[in-house]
Amino acid sequence: MSSNPNPTPRTRVVREPQRAVYDRDAVNQILDEAFLCHVGFVVDGQPYVIPTSYGRAGNVLYIHGSAASRMLRNLDQGIPVCVTVTLLDGLVLARSVFNHSMNYRSVVILGTATLVDDPQEKITALRVLSEHILPHRWDDSRQPNEKELKATSVLRIPIEEFSAKVRVGPPIDDEPDYTYPTWAGVIPLEMRSGAPNRDERCSRELPEYLRDYSRKGK
Ligand SMILES: Cc1cc2nc3c(=O)[nH]c(=O)nc-3n(C[C@H](O)[C@H](O)[C@H](O)COP(=O)(O)OP(=O)(O)OC[C@H]3O[C@@H](n4cnc5c(N)ncnc54)[C@H](O)[C@@H]3O)c2cc1C
């Protein structure tokens, strides 16, 4: 077990607490398999929850985007955020409608985002983001120029106050329902890459790092 201070009163899972995970390594595994998060924040009393990509470096999550976007413009003012990440692993079909569920691994991070203004950290963060989503792609692409860097904001979110919740296994029905004559079990779901589709203006052969692309075991 890691020595992180979690859960805090704000990140303690209430419902189905046996599914809660507060271990940093287990949380990092979920964060590393996924690369999409939802960032929740409030501006003028209105909550917004914006899907976006991220990268992880140690105990920091980096998100980036157009310097002109509402999310980036507001979050660099140091307002509180809630970041969630979800991996959906299956549909859990119970006998009763009530006990249907899903198998999943999800993470909730609470914190405050800060703008990365040091040019060296900004480039490093952009590389982290790129490598988190697709290892080897950064070095195989043209690097960002001054104009592109200026148009891009990068935010740093500390992974300090967090929780994960994990559901695995078969449906859990009420005992009398086990004789109900319907199919019950789990339909596994996973995100898989398809065959790469070469751009018609690209003449290069498919590199190995793209042929072998997978999120599993990252
Ligand atoms: C794919 C998927 C489908 C779901 N479907 C449903 C549904 O249909 N109905 C439903 O009620 N719930 C559903 N959940 C569970 C839901 O995310 C919450 O866990 C649930 O609402 C209970 O929250 P709570 O009242 O215990 O905690 P809250 O009081 O809402 O949260 C307290 C703290 O617990 C932690 N926490 C709560 N939920 C999660 C989580 N999922 N992952 C990580 N940390 C968490 C957070 O740190 C949060 O700040 C689903 C979850 C996933 C991932």
Residue 29 beta carbon below 6 angstroms from any ligand 1 atom = no
Quote the pLDDT of residue 217: 62
Task: Answer whether 106 contacts ligand 1 (Cβ < 6 A).
Answer: yes
Q: Report CA Rg, the chain.
A: 20
Query: Cα dihedral sign for 138, 140, 146, 151?
Result: negative
Q: Exposed/middle/buried for 125, CB within 10 Å: 0-12, 13-18, 19+?
A: buried
Contacts of 101 (CB under 8 A, 6+ apart): 92, 94, 167, 171, 172
Q: Does 82 map to a domain? A: yes
Q: Is residue 7 part of a domain?
A: no
The reported pLDDT for the residue numbered 4 is: 61
Give the pLDDT confidence of 103-161 residue by residue, as tens digits: 999 999 999 999 999 999 999 999 999 999 999 999 999 999 999 999 999 999 999 99
| Pocket mutation for ligand 1, best pick of 10, 13, 98 (most atoms within 8 Å of C-beta) | 13
What's CA 27's distance to the chain center, in Å?
Answer: 10
Contact 121, 99 (CB under 8 A): no
For residue 152, is it within any domain?
yes
The answer, yes or no, to whether residue 192 has pLDDT greater than 50, is: yes
Q: Write down the pLDDT at residue 6.
A: 80
The stretch 89-116 carries a mean pLDDT of: 97
- Does residue 47 lie within any of the structural domains? yes
**Residue range 210-218: average pLDDT?**
80
Q: What is the pLDDT of residue 2?
A: 46
Residues 19-77 pLDDT 10s: 999 999 999 999 999 999 999 999 999 999 999 999 999 999 999 989 888 888 888 78
Atom of ligand 1 nearest to the CA of 101: 5
Supply the range of the domain harboring residue 171: 17-211
Residues 41 and 207: their CA atoms lie apart, in Å, by: 39
Contacts of 200 (CB under 8 A, 6+ apart): none
User: What integer pLDDT is reported at residue 1 of this predicted model?
Assistant: 41
pLDDT of residue 73: 83
Atom of ligand 1 nearest to the CA of 16: 26
Section 91-106 average pLDDT: 98
Ligand 1 pocket test target in 18, 108, 167 with most atoms within 8 Å of CB: 108
Name the residue at shortest CA distance from atom 8 of ligand 1. Answer: 101
Query: What mean pLDDT do residues 194-210 have?
Result: 95
Q: Structurally, how many domains does the chain consist of?
A: 1
Give a yes or no: residue 2 inside a domain.
no
Residue 74, domain member (yes or no): yes
Which tops the pLDDT comparison, 10 or 79? 10
Q: Considering the domain boundaries, does residue 10 fall inside one?
A: no
Distance 140 CA to ligand 1 centre (A): 39
Could you tell me which residue, 11 or 73, shows the higher pLDDT? 11
51 by Cβ neighbours in 10 Å (0-12 / 13-18 / 19+) ranks as exposed
What CATH number does residue 50 fall under?
2.30.110.10
**11 CB within 6 A, ligand 1:** yes
> Is residue 148 in a domain?
yes
